[in-house]
Structure 1
Amino acid sequence: MTVARQFHLVTAVVVTATLALQLVLVLQGGRVLDETSPPDLPVRLARLVAYFTIQSNVLVAVVAWQLARDPARDGAGWRVLRLASLVGITITGVVHFVLLRPLLDLDGADRLADKLLHLVVPLLAVAGWLLFGPRPRTAVRTAALVLVWPVAWLVVTLLVGAATGWYPYPFLDHREDGAGAVVLACLGITALFVVVDAALVALDRRLPPTADSTP
């Protein structure tokens, strides 16, 4: 097994175990962000899936398992999936560190899951791409298609929040600091997505091709 396959396998195992741990905690009524009174199980599961953090980690898991099998994986759809996982998990780490980390007061297994989802997995995913690629695998069209997912997530999240009163992140809740603050947060996060997306595409083109870049 090549070093690239070994690294991707480790990433796949870590992120899968992390998602399993978070699922167990939710099933047991564990806290998600600052919730102190967990709702019924079906609602908890629906809210778990609604978190952008969880969706990003799931994409990383799917990609890592595929790369563990074939480090030179390629294909038009796969390129979008790969870049989406990188953009999503990078944003997850940045937004958590800047906006959410000061709000959290977790301990025990909840704290462990939080650190794995928001710190360890992002570092593994980005490091794996920098070290082993596969590169090159991006284009302008790929980058444009990647943005469909976060924009759709944001629209759906705001619509569901308006209907139910629940938002996965406090900076999307107009009751916290007003609708103006939510608009600014959405614009800022959208701009961050575009910047990270463009930066990864630029790096993909400028960094040396990886040894396993050819299918």
Structure 2
Amino acid sequence: MSRWWHGPVALVVIASLAVQLALIFTGGADANSGQTGEALRLGVRLWRLFSYFTIESNLLVLAAALVLVWRPTFDGPVWRVVRLDALLGILITGLVFAIMLAPQVHLTGAALAATVGFHYISPWATIAAWLLFGPRPRISWSTVAGAFVWPLAWLVYIFTQGAFTDWYPYPFLGRDGPGPRSSHPQRGLVVVLAPAFAALFKLADARMPALLRDTPTPDHRVSAPPERSAP
């Protein structure tokens, strides 16, 4: 049953990305910022597109959805980190866009359709799928620690390139005047919320029911020693 949920999620992300790429190649609006690319080279627009946390989160959602369509109970230590990254990233994407960015971005036409897919359907359908189907338990504290490698690497990348290009994908990541200080308290809020959401996912994973649950494995139970045959 979960395949019939994850499949449409994957299709939404693919369709949104296809629309956004078409807009990039034709000089249309960016679904993340609402800006057109008439003054920018195509390569710069593509680089900026894939620098957005929104796009990277949706790509993780797409990868996770495709794997879960293929095998709903797929498992592995790296996979657990990727799945948690997809959940964390897309939850932050949905909340930050709805609360902080949507009032500043005014889109129409194809760009609006893309942003609905990226910022509304993908986030909440992904979270709903995890709440309904799991599978769980799958999240350990080591999984939580591993899931922060990508967001921290993204932040380092964004601030490093921003020091040279003075471009930041989101207003609250920018700087005011000389130096890297920011007048936007939202930056600190996002940094604080990310660990809180990760902890909530961990606790919910251990306690909430799900339509797909793991059976005990040697990693979760103490195995009895093998019996020796009589001489």
Range into which the TM-score falls when normalised by the shorter chain? over 0.9
User: How far apart in 2 are the matches of 1:36 and 1:78?
Assistant: 36
Q: 1:211 Cα deviation (Å)?
A: 2.9
Q: 1:175 Cα deviation (Å)?
A: 3.2
Query: How many residues end up aligned between the 2 structures?
Result: 212
User: How far apart in 2 are the matches of 1:34 and 1:4?
Assistant: 34
In structure 1, the partner of 2:87 is 86
Change (3 A) 1:212 1:30: farther
TM-score normalized by the length of structure 2 = 0.86
Contact 1:86 1:126 in 2 (8 A): yes
Q: Deviations 1:24-75 (Å, cap 9, x if unpaired)?
A: 1112112221424441100000001100000000000000000001110100
In structure 1, the partner of 2:105 is 104
Q: Deviations 1:173-193 (Å, cap 9, x if unpaired)?
A: 1138x82425x4432211111
Contact 1:71 1:212 in 2 (8 A): no
Q: Secondary structure at the match of 1:168?
A: coil
The one-letter code of the counterpart of 1:56 is S
Instruction: From the CA coordinates, give the structure whose radius of gyration is larger.
Output: 2
Contact 1:136 1:209 in 2 (8 A): no
Q: How does 1:60-209 map to 2 (within 5 A)?
A: 60-175=61-176, 179-181=181-183, 184-209=185-210
Contact 2:135 2:214 in 1 (8 A): yes
- Give the CA RMSD over aligned residues: 1.9
Q: Secondary structure at the match of 1:179?
A: coil
User: How far apart in 1 are the matches of 2:23 and 2:176?
Assistant: 28
Change (3 A) 1:6 1:213: farther
Q: Deviations 1:145-200 (Å, cap 9, x if unpaired)?
A: 11111111112101111101111111111138x82425x44322111111111111
Identity of counterpart residues, as a percentage? 42
The one-letter code of the counterpart of 2:106 is D
Structure 1: runs of 5+ lacking an equivalent: none
Q: Which moved more, 1:162-171 or 1:47-56?
A: 162-171
Q: 1:212 Cα deviation (Å)?
A: 5.4
TM-score normalized by the length of structure 1 = 0.92
Change (3 A) 1:168 1:180: closer
User: How far apart in 2 are the matches of 1:128 and 1:122?
Assistant: 10
Q: Deviations 1:108-141 (Å, cap 9, x if unpaired)?
A: 0001111110001001101111111111110001
Q: Secondary structure at the match of 2:2?
A: helix
User: How far apart in 2 are the matches of 1:147 and 1:210?
Assistant: 27
In structure 2, the partner of 1:53 is 54
Q: Which moved more, 1:54-63 or 1:157-166?
A: 157-166
> Comparing both structures, which one devotes a greater share of its residues to helix?
1
User: How far apart in 1 are the matches of 2:36 and 2:19?
Assistant: 19
User: How far apart in 2 are the matches of 1:142 and 1:72?
Assistant: 17
The one-letter code of the counterpart of 1:78 is W
User: How far apart in 1 are the matches of 2:22 and 2:37?
Assistant: 17
The one-letter code of the counterpart of 2:35 is E
User: How far apart in 2 are the matches of 1:211 and 1:89?
Assistant: 21
